[in-house]
Amino acid sequence: MSYENILVQKENGIATVTINRPKKLNALNRDTIQELHTAFSALEADAETKVIVLTGSGEKAFVAGADISEFADFSVDEGGKLAAKGQELLFDFVQNLGTPVIAAVNGFALGGGLELAMAAHFRIASDNAKMGLPEVSLGVIPGYGGTQRLPQLVGKGKAMEMIMTAGMIGAEEAKQCGLVNHVTTQEELLGLANKLATKITRNSLVAIRGAIKAVNANYEDGVNGYKVEISEFGNCFGTEDFNEGTTAFLEKRKANFPGK
Ligand code: COA
């Protein structure tokens, strides 16, 4: 599959998806959102892909936001539809993937860019990264899940401050407040992402899929996360991975998970 706005590379069970509009600081236009949806759907269905790393091309930006030029003249109705469609195609979609997604934030992650990084299962950043939700400086609010996921990650007060001031925080502050897990140099960012991804590939991806569901359940309205955990825990007992994992432990060898 070839794309115009993104690159997809696969190696050793790890797929790297790079948003590739560096001249526009990788801003998310309609086509890019659609291509990301198509690529993530294909990777989720691909048995060879165990982990996805998501990053931006160039040295300046992960993603500098939704493409402002596309929605500047939208009506109330079009604005609502833009947010709904984007959340469905990309942001909720990424959060609910069974394949782990690591966002490697390599520069500006603003507006829709930070929202995309927050939809990933966890984030790492390069030390030049700058993150923020500047939407209110444009007269709009975050519309791709930012008002929900930022408080989940950094707490309500910090999220309110970031949203109301429209300010940016650096990578170290992002780490201190739980927005990213690790900070490294730009040169080492993808290496670190690959190291973490490789660790993940050694574990049971069936179990990881269940764990993602259970963790996400905590943030869904009307869903009892403990019940989802119980159900996903029980399901594991019917998998080949569970059989292999427990047998390998008892035989004092490393597990070789079939992923089923
Ligand atoms: N949507 C559309 N185009 C964008 C964009 C966005 N969110 N962010 C950057 N670009 C484009 C710029 O228009 C410019 O295009 P041009 O060269 O054709 O004029 C190009 O990317 C480079 O950006 P520029 O602003 O010249 O770079 P900079 O280094 O001076 O500033 C930023 C970098 C990130 C501070 C600045 O681009 C910015 O504030 N972007 C918008 C961030 C934002 O508000 N995002 C939330 C959107 S809801």
In tens, the pLDDT along 238-251 reads 999 999 999 999 99
State the pLDDT at residue 1. 76
* Residue 130 sits in the same domain as residue 226: no
Query: Ligand 1 test: best mutation among 5, 21, 24, 25, most atoms within 8 Å of CB?
Result: 25
Q: Is 240 a catalytic residue?
A: no
**Is 97 domain-assigned?**
yes
Q: Of 162, 185, 201, at which residue does a domain stop?
A: 201
**Is 260 domain-assigned?**
no
Whether 146 lines ligand 1, by a CB cut-off of 6 Å, is no
Mean pLDDT, the chain, as a whole number? 97
* Residue 147 sits in the same domain as residue 218: no
pLDDT-derived band at 236 (thresholds 50, 70, 90) equals: very high
Q: Please identify which of the residues 35, 48, 59, 115 carries the catalytic annotation.
A: 115
* Residue 170 sits in the same domain as residue 48: yes
* Residue 18 sits in the same domain as residue 127: yes
Whether 65 lines ligand 1, by a CB cut-off of 6 Å, is yes
* Residue 140 sits in the same domain as residue 81: yes
Distance 25 CA to ligand 1 centre (A): 6
Q: Of 186, 201, 216, at which residue does a domain stop?
A: 201
Q: What angle do CA 84, 87, 92 make, to 5 degrees?
A: 140
* Residue 179 sits in the same domain as residue 97: yes
Whether 134 lines ligand 1, by a CB cut-off of 6 Å, is yes
* Residue 218 sits in the same domain as residue 186: no
Q: Is 11 a catalytic residue?
A: no
| pLDDT at residue 125 greater than cutoff 90 | yes
**Is 1 domain-assigned?**
no
Domain count, the chain: 2
| pLDDT at residue 91 greater than cutoff 80 | yes
State the pLDDT at residue 224. 97
Whether 135 lines ligand 1, by a CB cut-off of 6 Å, is yes
Beta-strand pair 6-11/51-56: unpaired
* Residue 94 sits in the same domain as residue 221: no
* Residue 110 sits in the same domain as residue 231: no
Give the 3-state secondary structure of the chain: CCCCCEEEEEECCEEEEEECCHHHCCCECHHHHHHHHHHHHHHHHCCCCCEEEEEECCCCEEECCECHHHHCCCCHHHHHHHHHHHHHHHHHHHHCCCCCEEEEECCEEECHHHHHHHHCCEEEEECCCEEECCHHHHCCCCCCCHHHHHHHHHCHHHHHHHHHHCCEEEHHHHHHCCCCCEEECHHHHHHHHHHHHHHHHCCCHHHHHHHHHHHHHCCCCCCCHHHHHHHHHHHHCCCHHHHHHHHHHHCCCCCCCCCC
Atom 32, ligand 1: residue with shortest CA distance: 64
pTM of the model: 0.97
* Domain range for 90: 6-201
* Residue 21 sits in the same domain as residue 102: yes
